[in-house]
């Protein structure tokens, strides 16, 4: 039997390490070293195009807890209701984790995020294909979803 105190001890503590942030703005921060510089650049271009086309801000943080800027990304990225913060962190088992702004939540079915994590974030996928492949596949799928017209079938397929 566990008590509330035991559960609280099991949860990761919040981290706020702005010194791990880059000097200049970028929508992709890889403190874990999962992505090559070319992959980071490609993902940053995809994210910028997505924001220009849809108004949604996708931000990608690759980390290995506790090595993370943590809460410092909120101000760095000016996180708002149109922002999706995608945290790639294998320390929790499933590498794909999402913090979705309220406006995004209204337009993207919640099941999309769990299906996306189930397909590309599971330990079998990222151990076989690599953390970078999980991140790239998730960014691609998010881009496809956010570009789809709204409706009952929106974001129903993850390719």
Mean pLDDT for the chain?
A: 90
The pLDDT > 90 percentage for the chain reads: 78
Q: For residue 27, how many other CB atoms are within 10 A of its CB? A: 20
Is there a domain that residue 152 lies in?
no
Is there a domain that residue 154 lies in?
no
Is there a domain that residue 159 lies in?
no
pLDDT above 60 for 127: yes
Percent of the chain as helix, strand, coil, to the nearest 5: 50, 15, 35
Is there a domain that residue 158 lies in?
no
In total, how many domains does the chain have?
Answer: 1
Residue 154 pLDDT: 84
Section 48-62 average pLDDT? 97
Is there a domain that residue 157 lies in?
no
Is there a domain that residue 46 lies in?
yes
Residue 93 pLDDT: 82
pLDDT above 80 for 110: yes
């Amino acid at each position: 039997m566990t008590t509330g105190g035991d559960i609280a001890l099991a949860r990761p503590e919040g981290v706020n390490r702005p010194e791990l942030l880059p000097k200049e703005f970028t929508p992709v921060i890889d403190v874990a070293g999962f992505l090559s510089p070319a992959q980071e650049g490609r993902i940053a271009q995809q994210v910028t195009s997505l924001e220009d086309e849809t108004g949604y801000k996708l931000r990608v943080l690759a980390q290995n807890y506790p090595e993370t800027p943590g809460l410092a990304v909120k101000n760095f990225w000016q996180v708002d209701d149109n922002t999706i913060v995608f945290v790639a962190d294998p320390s929790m088992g499933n590498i794909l984790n999402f913090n979705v702004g309220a406006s995004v939540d209204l337009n993207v079915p919640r099941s999309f995020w769990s299906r996306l994590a189930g397909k590309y974030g599971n330990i079998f996928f990222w151990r076989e294909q690599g953390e970078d492949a999980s991140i790239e596949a998730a960014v691609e799928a998010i881009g496809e979803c956010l570009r789809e017209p709204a409706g009952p079938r929106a974001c129903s397929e993850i390719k």
